[in-house]
Amino acid sequence: MTRFVIDLSESVEHSIFVLADPYRVVIDLPETEWRVSRAAANASAGLVQRYRFGLYRAGISRLVLDAAAPVQVHRAFVLPPQGNFAYRFVIDLKRTDRNSFLKSAGSPVGKLAAVRPAKPLPKVPPRRPDRPVIVLDPGHGGVDPGTIGAGGTYEKTVVLKVAKEIRRRLTASGRYQVVMTRNRDVFVRLHDRVKIAREADADLFLSIHADAINQRKVRGATVYTLSEKASDAEAGALAAKENKADVIAGVDLNVHNDDVANILIELAQRDTMNRSARFATILVPSLKKNVRVRAKPHRSAGFRVLKAPDVPSVLIELGYLSNRDDEKLLNSQAGRTAVAKAIAAAVSRYFEVVHSGNR
């Protein structure tokens, strides 16, 4: 038996369900302000290997426990204030067998799911005919922190700051309409990120990330475009990791129809892929003028978030949070300004080329 306890300022409704492959226990709560020390956030014990938390969607916060084995939620209850403690939310987990786990997977227990239906995506503003639409996609968010850097930097935080700086620069030019897949610390599914771009009739989709690598000395920006065959093993591993974002956030992929995952790269998509590659060839030199880039700065792999068949799309790794120099750079206003300036300049150059007819 493993007991997981959360201290609360007040009693809460909750909904709990389990998901397989990997084994997860997902707890949904009303929108919560989390105050967890870094040491506590990295703790593990018993059947709980690790956990993560954050805003899942407007009104709902989510806590995801990664279990070391198939588990059963034996009990879940809220204790009233006692002594020096305020309210306490208690979850008792017991080991079970896989068949029993699978029978209960995806079935919520509790009140929250029944009274808080999913909210639709934010409405995309109507397109202005005189301005190209740029969709900025800060990776991860909410319950999905992305990479946590060597010095404790959260990828979801730094990429949002950079995306906002890019938006500021593009908007200030008066030449572009900018849409963001998220503008605060909230989880957005991979499918929904692409859906936002398509509904906005985007001319360009930029997914912003800052990952980690086992070799801590490696640093610099990299640009990725879509390919079903990865350009190298590292690109393939990165795509596999990024494509698991929904799993990390506790999404049950068995009951969510994800059209993006089923999109095949057909003849109709080749022009989009060519335009994506064209933008990448413009972006890399722009980055080189402002920030450090990898020795092989343009790579490709099967990123789900780049699979809109009609929107030129690239994924930009700003640097590696596993490298302390890159982490320090991205935590500085000067560093974020430099990379945002490079990206905004590349966008302007790309549309100069497009409008000149050199497609």
Place of tokens 């084995």: 69
Q: According to the model, what pLDDT value does residue 19 have?
A: 93
Q: According to the model, what pLDDT value does residue 264 have?
A: 46
Stretches in the chain below the pLDDT threshold 70: 38-42, 111-122, 254-268, 357-359
Tokens of 353: 């080329």
Domains and CATH numbers, the chain: 2-115 (2.60.40.3500), 133-355 (3.40.630.40)
Give the Cα separation of 196 and 354 in Å (integer). Answer: 23
Q: According to the model, what pLDDT value does residue 44 have?
A: 78
The conformation of residue 82, written as its DSSP 8-state character, comes to B
Place of tokens 């084994």: 23
Give the Cα separation of 322 and 334 in Å (integer). Answer: 20
- Which stretches does DSSP call E strand in 288-331? 293-301, 313-317
pLDDT of 107-153, one tens digit each?
787 766 554 555 555 677 778 788 999 999 999 999 999 999 988 89
Contact present, 185 and 191 (Cβ < 8 Å): no
Dihedral angle sign, alpha carbons of residues 9, 152, 55, 72:
negative
Neighbouring CB atoms inside 10 A of 80's CB total 9
Give the Cα separation of 287 and 222 in Å (integer). Answer: 9
Q: Which helix (H) or strand (E) holds 255?
A: none
Q: Which helix (H) or strand (E) holds 65?
A: strand 60-67
Contact present, 14 and 25 (Cβ < 8 Å): no
Q: According to the model, what pLDDT value does residue 53 have?
A: 92
Give the global pTM. Answer: 0.88
Q: According to the model, what pLDDT value does residue 308 have?
A: 87
Contact present, 129 and 172 (Cβ < 8 Å): no
